[in-house]
Amino acid sequence: MTYTVGHYLAERLTQIGLKHHFAVAGDYNLVLLDQLIEQGGTKQIYDCNELNCSFAAEGYARANGAAAAVITFSVGAISAMNGLGGAYAENLPILVISGAPNSNDHGSGHVLHHTIGTTEYSYQMEMAKHVTCAAESITSAETAPAKIDHVIRTMLREKKPAYLEIACNISAAPCVRPGPVSSLHAHPRPDEASLKAALDESLGFLTKANKVAILVGTKLRAAEALKETIELADKLGCPVTVMAAAKSYFPETHPGFRGVYWGDVSSPGAQEIIEGADAVICLAPVWNDYSSGGWKSIVRGEKVLEVDPDRVTVNGKTFDGFRLKEFVKALTEKAPKKSAALTGAYKPVMLPKADPAKPLSNDEMTRQINELVDGNTTLFAETGDSWFNAVRMHLPEGAKVETEMQWGHIGWSVPSMFGNATASPERKHVLMVGDGSFQLTAQEVAQMVRYELPVIIFLVNNHGYVIEIAIHDGPYNYIQNWDYAALMQCFNQGVPGEESGKYGLGLHATTGAELAEAIAKAKKNTRGPTLIECKLDRTDCTKTLVEWGKAVAAANSRKPQSV
Ligand SMILES: C/C(NCc1cnc(C)nc1N)=C(/S)[C@H](O)COP(=O)(O)OP(=O)(O)O
């Protein structure tokens, strides 16, 4: 068998730990898809469309560390751009690979199908460059290895997405074989002088402080320092809170854990700890309009030691040339005990059990879902009140929560969980998604039926865009109602003559008792997804959503600055 450009790419993807890649066929990528199958290192998983394909890769990367999606030129790739944007916003290294025009067509004056009808095809690469850390176009086998290695090495180092387009007549062209994967993982050595200076300044800052606290931020997982943060918290003995987008990045069973800090909508006690501290170690925070509650709560300034993925800022000075993980490890070695702010015990909010015969409430639904979450569960929370329901849950050791609080593309969670469950079949997957979000990517549930993924989907049917209603209401926030549970019947058709792809289960829950019964059935459905349609009153949402929504609406409606 001739070793080809496609085999080289497939071998590199296998070497960096992928066991699957996602794809939607198109005539520009069919030969490439053959090469990936032929090399056999990663299983080819199909999606209903390229938006879902790119989000499935994003979800796979959340579990696996990296991922790849293969789509066709222009009509496929431009849909996948949304997944690239989301992966960029959420710091996830996915590689989107687009089939591309025949290398002979460039400069030929040919008008090609699937393009915008011009004779120039570089617009796609130009678009991709804005939402990736590296982007390359392969039109010859000779340059393919260097370009493939460049995009993979960069995405792994930056924890950002990358883009590759391969001319359809080059995928099967003969190619040299790759060397060891270690060259793709190399990180620059830390600058010792800068690291020491940052450490000395930070130790001086902490030694003078009395009430010290840690705030775990959005990018800490991408900085690969979750374990190191636990060690720092153990050494300092101080309280630890997490930002909403970092929920589950720090174990909630740890003696220092004190809830979620989200300004005025923080967990009980968390706001007092952070805003009452005289030294806050902020680890990889992202302060945007949502995380700051409409710019009202940003933890920054002279009482803050801010540790970003590649920079430390403290006492009015800033230091770089090392990675967050290296700094946190060095700080832990010399950090003093600072437990003055750790008072009392953490009291998670316990929701009372509702009367099972009463109409289902948001609180009762959240309580029952929280009970379902164990140490082997990955809980996906879609944009909407699902965020606030996930944030108020209390997690057992090992539970993970996945959100997309920076990009916030509604519907992301369905394909992303599909990808995550594909990457981590040993874990249990639970999704909370609103009816509005679900309508954007619902068809990907059919792929969960096809691949027999035993995930549980809580479809929150509250008849509209409730988070938008809280921010700014209007006729545009109301949607067509579906019988969401009935979709499973539609998706269960399977493949004629084949046994697989028929085990989706759709259930309705209008009371606490019906929800409990549905969850019991979902636990027994091991050969396919279970979608439980939870009927809630439109006004039944978390108080935190309403309060936060008002703050965000106020931020959105700021008057233009008068010049
Ligand atoms: C319409 C929109 N955001 C605007 C929006 C529109 N289009 C895309 C792709 N992404 C977005 N975030 C949002 S958050 C809806 O409230 C989601 O509704 P739903 O899923 O039903 O959840 P809630 O009822 O809990 O709000």
Note the pLDDT tens digit of each residue in 280-326.
999 999 999 999 999 999 999 999 999 999 999 999 999 999 999 99
Q: Are residues 399 and 494 in the same domain?
A: yes
Output b/e per residue, 245-256; b: 16+ Cβ within 10 A. Answer: bbbbbbbbeeeb
In testing the pocket of ligand 1, which one of 386, 403, 407, 467 has its CB within 8 Å of the most ligand atoms? 467
Cα(48)–Cα(530) distance, rounded to whole angstroms? 19
Question: Which residues share a beta bridge with 67?
Answer: 94
Q: Are residues 129 and 76 in the same domain?
A: yes
Q: What pLDDT is stored for residue 345 in this prediction?
A: 86
Q: What pLDDT is stored for residue 500 in this prediction?
A: 83
Mean per-residue pLDDT for 524-536?
98
Q: Are residues 219 and 177 in the same domain?
A: no
- Containing 54, the helix (H) or strand (E) segment is helix 50-64
Q: Name the residue among 399, 345, 411, 344 with its Cα closest to residue 374.
A: 399
> In this predicted model, what pLDDT tens digit does every residue of 1-56 receive, in sequence order?
899 999 999 999 999 999 999 999 999 999 999 999 999 999 999 999 999 999 99
Mean per-residue pLDDT for 514-538?
98
Is the CB–ligand 1 distance for residue 85 below 6 Å? no
Mean per-residue pLDDT for 399-424?
98
Q: Which ligand 1 atom minimizes the distance to the CA of 82?
A: 9
Q: Are residues 372 and 400 in the same domain?
A: yes
Is the CB–ligand 1 distance for residue 262 below 6 Å? no
Encoded tokens for 73:
């030129």
Question: Which residues share a beta bridge with 257?
Answer: 240
| Residue-wise DSSP of 327-356 | HHHHHHHHPPP--TT--S---PPPPPPPPT
> What ipTM does the predicted assembly reach?
0.99
Give me the percent of the chain exceeding a pLDDT of 90: 95
Give me the percent of the chain exceeding a pLDDT of 70: 100
Q: How far is CA 106 from CA 77, 136, 139, 140, in A?
A: 18, 15, 9, 12
Most confident region among 345-349, 502-506, 546-550 by mean pLDDT: 502-506
Q: Are residues 161 and 217 in the same domain?
A: no
Q: Are residues 59 and 201 in the same domain?
A: no
Query: Is residue 556 included in any domain, yes or no?
Result: no
pLDDT band at 543 (very low <50, low <70, confident <90, very high): very high
Q: Which ligand 1 atom minimizes the distance to the CA of 436?
A: 21
How many whole angstroms from 246 Cα to the centroid of ligand 1? 21
Q: What pLDDT is stored for residue 21 in this prediction?
A: 98
How many whole angstroms from 134 Cα to the centroid of ligand 1? 30
Is the CB–ligand 1 distance for residue 383 below 6 Å? yes
Is the CB–ligand 1 distance for residue 50 below 6 Å? no
Question: Which residues share a beta bridge with 78?
Answer: none
Q: Are residues 159 and 237 in the same domain?
A: no
Q: Which ligand 1 atom minimizes the distance to the CA of 382?
A: 20
Q: What pLDDT is stored for residue 187 in this prediction?
A: 82
Q: Name the residue among 425, 349, 429, 445 with its Cα closest to residue 381.
A: 429
Is the CB–ligand 1 distance for residue 172 below 6 Å? no
> In this predicted model, what pLDDT tens digit does every residue of 202-249 receive, in sequence order?
999 999 999 999 999 999 999 999 999 999 999 999 999 999 999 999
Cα(436)–Cα(420) distance, rounded to whole angstroms? 22
Q: Are residues 145 and 199 in the same domain?
A: no
pLDDT greater than 80 at residue 563: no
Query: Is residue 355 included in any domain, yes or no?
Result: no
How many whole angstroms from 49 Cα to the centroid of ligand 1? 20
Query: Is residue 399 included in any domain, yes or no?
Result: yes
Pinpoint the alpha helices (H) of 433-496.
Answer: 435-441, 444-450, 466-471, 487-491
Contacts of 136 (CB under 8 A, 6+ apart): 147, 148, 150, 151, 163, 164, 165
Query: Is residue 30 included in any domain, yes or no?
Result: yes
Q: Are residues 455 and 532 in the same domain?
A: yes
pLDDT band at 153 (very low <50, low <70, confident <90, very high): very high
Q: Are residues 385 and 420 in the same domain?
A: yes
Is the CB–ligand 1 distance for residue 409 below 6 Å? yes
> In this predicted model, what pLDDT tens digit does every residue of 156-166 receive, in sequence order?
999 999 999 99
Q: Are residues 152 and 199 in the same domain?
A: no
Q: For position 293, which CATH number holds? A: 3.40.50.1220
Q: Which ligand 1 atom minimizes the distance to the CA of 464?
A: 21
pLDDT greater than 80 at residue 495: no
Cα(318)–Cα(392) distance, rounded to whole angstroms? 35
Cβ atoms of 348 and 394 closer than 8 Å: yes
Query: Is residue 295 included in any domain, yes or no?
Result: yes
How many whole angstroms from 443 Cα to the centroid of ligand 1? 17
How many whole angstroms from 125 Cα to the centroid of ligand 1? 30
Is the CB–ligand 1 distance for residue 466 below 6 Å? yes
Q: Which ligand 1 atom minimizes the distance to the CA of 383?
A: 14
Query: Is residue 526 included in any domain, yes or no?
Result: yes
Is the CB–ligand 1 distance for residue 410 below 6 Å? yes
Is the CB–ligand 1 distance for residue 61 below 6 Å? no
Cβ atoms of 529 and 449 closer than 8 Å: yes
Q: Which residue is closest in CA terms to ligand 1's atom 16? A: 465
Q: Are residues 76 and 133 in the same domain?
A: yes
- Domain limit, last residue, from 147, 167, 185: 185
Q: What pLDDT is stored for residue 472 in this prediction?
A: 86
Q: What pLDDT is stored for residue 98 in this prediction?
A: 98
Q: How far is CA 241 from CA 18, 212, 256, 257, 381, in A?
A: 33, 12, 8, 6, 19
pTM of the model: 0.98
- Domain limit, last residue, from 341, 373, 391: 341
Q: What pLDDT is stored for residue 342 in this prediction?
A: 94
Is the CB–ligand 1 distance for residue 462 below 6 Å? yes
* Location of structure tokens 């035993």: 454
Instruction: Extract the runs of DSSP E, i.e. beta strands, from 370-480.
Output: 377-381, 400-402, 428-434, 456-461
pLDDT greater than 90 at residue 562: no
- Domain limit, last residue, from 292, 311, 341: 341
Is the CB–ligand 1 distance for residue 461 below 6 Å? no
Q: How far is CA 379 from CA 106, 421, 453, 458, 545, in A?
A: 46, 11, 15, 11, 19
In testing the pocket of ligand 1, which one of 383, 432, 469 has its CB within 8 Å of the most ligand atoms? 383
Task: Give the chain's domain count.
Answer: 3
Domain boundaries, position 375: 362-544
Query: Is residue 346 included in any domain, yes or no?
Result: no
Q: What pLDDT is stored for residue 419 in this prediction?
A: 99
Average pLDDT score over the chain: 97
Q: What pLDDT is stored for residue 108 in this prediction?
A: 97
Query: Is residue 350 included in any domain, yes or no?
Result: no
pLDDT greater than 90 at residue 496: no
Q: What pLDDT is stored for residue 517 in this prediction?
A: 98
> In this predicted model, what pLDDT tens digit does every residue of 128-145 receive, in sequence order?
999 999 999 999 999 999
Mean per-residue pLDDT for 336-361?
94
Phi, psi dihedrals of residue 473, rounded to the nearest 5°: -85, 160
How many whole angstroms from 434 Cα to the centroid of ligand 1? 8
Q: Which ligand 1 atom minimizes the distance to the CA of 384?
A: 25
How many whole angstroms from 387 Cα to the centroid of ligand 1? 11
| Residue-wise DSSP of 137-180 | EE--TTTHHHHHHHHHHHHHHHTS-EEEEEETTTTTSB-PPP--
pLDDT band at 179 (very low <50, low <70, confident <90, very high): very high
Q: For position 495, which CATH number holds? A: 3.40.50.970
Q: Which ligand 1 atom minimizes the distance to the CA of 411?
A: 9
How many whole angstroms from 461 Cα to the centroid of ligand 1? 13
Question: Which residues share a beta bridge with 458?
Answer: 432, 532
